[in-house]
A = this chain, B = another copy of it.
Amino acid sequence: MRISPTSKPQVFITMGDPAGIGPEIIVRSMASSLIRDLAVFIIIADASCIINAAKKLGFQKKLAVRKLDDGGQTEIVLDETRVNVLDAGAPLTNIKTGIPTAEGAKKTLDCLDSAISLMRDSSDKTRKVLVTAPLSKEAIAEIKPGFIGHTEYLAEAYSLDLVTMVMVGENFSVVPVTRHIPLKDVAEKLNERLIRDTLFQVIENRNIICPRKDPKIGVSALNPHAGEGGKIGDEEARIIMPAVEEARGVYKNITIPMSADTVFYKAYRKELDIVVAMYHDQALAPFKMINFDSGVNMTLGLPFVRTSPDHGTAFDIAGKGIANSESMEQAIKVALRAIHKNVK
């Protein structure tokens, strides 16, 4: 099954957990005709969840809904004048807003798997992006042990050795070279090749991460005070600097490894646009301190750019009509940078 080509680029959006705020923030984001005009939107979801959310906003007439797994269906022709909703998986029977269930987790994965399948088969790879609404890692891990999150799931689906996670913020963006591993394993996991390849993915996608011309990339050291000339660890000279030197061969605007407490200060002061950090908390603690709900999570290295809002399912407020769609809209806008020149 494939999606027919369209004149405009395509934005795929997965619903996330049906009991969370995904359906309502997706529909709310679609209310902006400025955004809708930039691309064709394809929401892969439980149709009734999206329709219900749309009814609350008086938005249901803008939807073009169809079943995704119709027998014999080989090509889906999209409606370029409306928001396309593709109904994936079995109908939900027992979902209560705000309460995660195994059924909801299965539906979340069904939508994600459908997106993976549809996007894999597209012939027009440069003109499509994926935006994922929040899922419940805990709920999915119950039915699929070992599930870590979108980033790792997508990397596995596309059999990729290296995908890069970027957190795109208003002032600056961060890239952790290693991600969800225990702190004690960080130094061992880091190597020159991983740092270099991550830098190359960042350089290649620098203007999707930051629309400014020639964005300045800062590189964090691993050790306190950047190792103080080898007195506090040797990774700066042994693996980080060589990787930086290789990266400078293709792009000059990259700093030497700087102590974490310097590099984030410079980023905060807008002297740097993107900070490549060596591990999760080094990147995320300063970033989330000032971008807790407003950041956009981006995955590089897939056959397309994927973004998501940097918040969770918010089960506690789901269905109450009070969920803020700002981060979701920002995720859509950031993804659109990858396929649309007019988006800053």
Residues of A within 8 A of B (CB): 179-184, 186-188, 222-225, 227-228, 232-233, 235, 259-265, 267-268, 278-282, 284-290, 292
Contacts and interface: CB of A to CB of B under 8 A. Distances in A.
Nearest to A292: B265
A260 B232 contact: no
Contacts of A265: 288-289, 292
A261 B281 contact: yes
Q: How many copies does the complex hold?
A: 2
27 contacts: A181-B232, A182-B222, A182-B232, A182-B235, A183-B187, A183-B223, A184-B186, A184-B233, A224-B280, A224-B281, A260-B281, A260-B285, A261-B281, A261-B287, A261-B289, A262-B288, A263-B285, A264-B285, A264-B288, A265-B288, A265-B289, A265-B292, A268-B290, A281-B282, A282-B285, A286-B289, A289-B290
A120 B290 CA distance: 43
Contacts of A268: 289-290
Given A184-B188, A224-B280, A264-B289, 19 more contacts: A180-B228, A180-B232, A182-B223, A182-B232, A182-B235, A184-B233, A224-B279, A224-B281, A261-B281, A261-B284, A261-B285, A261-B287, A261-B288, A264-B285, A264-B286, A267-B289, A268-B290, A281-B282, A285-B286
Q: What is the predominant secondary structure among interface residues of chain A facing chain B?
A: helix
A260 B284 contact: yes
A237 to B, nearest CB: 13
Among A232, A278, A285, chain B packs the most CB atoms within 10 A around the CB of A285
